[in-house]
Amino acid sequence: MTKKISYVFVIAAALLWGSTAAVAKLLLADLNSLQVLFFNNFFACLGLFVIVLIRGQSAVIWSYGRRDYAVFAAIGFLGTFLYNLFLISALETLPAQEAFLINYLWPVMAVIFAAVILKEKINPRKAVGLASSFIGVAIVVTRGNFSFLRFDNITGILFAVAGAVAFGLFSVLGKRYKHEQFTGMLLYYLFGTLCSLLTVLLFSSLPLLSRPQFFGLIWLGAFTSGVAFVFWFLALEYGDTAKMSNMILLTPFISLVYIYFLLGEKILISSVVGLLIIVVGIIIQSTRKRLSPV
């Protein structure tokens, strides 16, 4: 029963994460990227705070020292401020399917940063996986037309790639500095919220939200950036890490469904093909070589 419940948790996480691109794109129709960024981080922080209280882990927060808080500030700036800023900016300028799928380069970036920071070797299997993922992204960016490389929106593409780089580095640094997961995510989002508040006050303004915007931002922040992580951590706790990691690859496919029904975007064949190749590359990188039976 314990192992079966892990599949419920991982599917719930994928369903929540998969809605990110479509919901953010809808909100960006009336709000700018800095406004969406602040409310996303604020509601994520608030949701995670409630979860930490429910789990009775508030004392853990006070057990951290100054060095820990310096790490939370630096990694939170990278993973909850810069990453979300780049992703939301990409969604503001690109079709949702392209922004989200290009952003799915982050597992590739994580492998590269793990080699540099954690000294994990890139073996031939990982190299093939990396090449496959880059080819998949190239198909998405060029829409399958390699005869001429014309980018319709280079700024949006750079934002999406920058988001992948930021989250890949965030993932590796989070692995290096091991803190309790729930309080760690809360503190990451706390510092991300402070950074995004300063940014929106300096370069934009805090709008009066309509009811649809309010509930949309609660969904985007508290659920896709808060509750989804809870489900993911629980899936890893109760299930096999390798199986859960493969199951979470459902996320971009689920995202295309949300994008089609909520935004009405036509899903391009090149997006589906590119996504499949990206996922194959990720699976190749994450699959361990099995020993032959004696």
Question: What mean pLDDT do residues 87-100 have?
Answer: 92
Task: Report yes or no on 177 lying in a domain.
Answer: yes
pLDDT digits (tens, 9 = 90+) for 167-203: 989 988 887 777 888 999 999 999 999 999 999 999 9
To 5 degrees, how large is the angle CA 179–CA 184–CA 185? Answer: 140
Give the pLDDT confidence score for residue 144 in this predicted structure: 67
Domain count, the chain: 1
In a domain, residue 194? The reply is yes
Distance CA 28, CA 93 (A): 10
Q: CA dihedral in degrees (166, 114, 171, 69; nearest 10)? A: -90
Confidence of residue 287 (pLDDT cuts 50, 70, 90): low
Residue 294 maps to a domain: no
Residue 1 has pLDDT above 60, yes or no: no
Asked, for residue 229, whether it belongs to a domain, the answer is yes
Q: Identify whether 293 is part of a domain.
A: no
Q: Residue 44: its pLDDT value, please?
A: 96
**pLDDT of 289:** 47
Number of C-beta neighbours around residue 125 at 10 A: 14
Q: Which domain holds residue 240?
A: 2-286
Q: Which residues of 279-292 are buried (b: 16+ CB within 10 A; e: fewer)?
A: bbbbebbbeeeeee
Query: Does a structural domain hold residue 141?
Result: yes
For the record, the structure tokens of 232 come out as 């993911």
Q: Tell whether 200 is covered by a domain.
A: yes
% of the chain with per-residue pLDDT over 70: 90
- pLDDT-derived band of residue 38, with 50, 70 and 90 as boundaries? very high
- Provide CB contacts within 8 A for 164, sequence distance 6+: 102, 103, 104, 105, 106, 108, 109
Instruction: Evaluate whether residue 35 is within a structural domain.
Output: yes
pTM, entire model: 0.87
| Mean pLDDT of the region 288-293 | 41
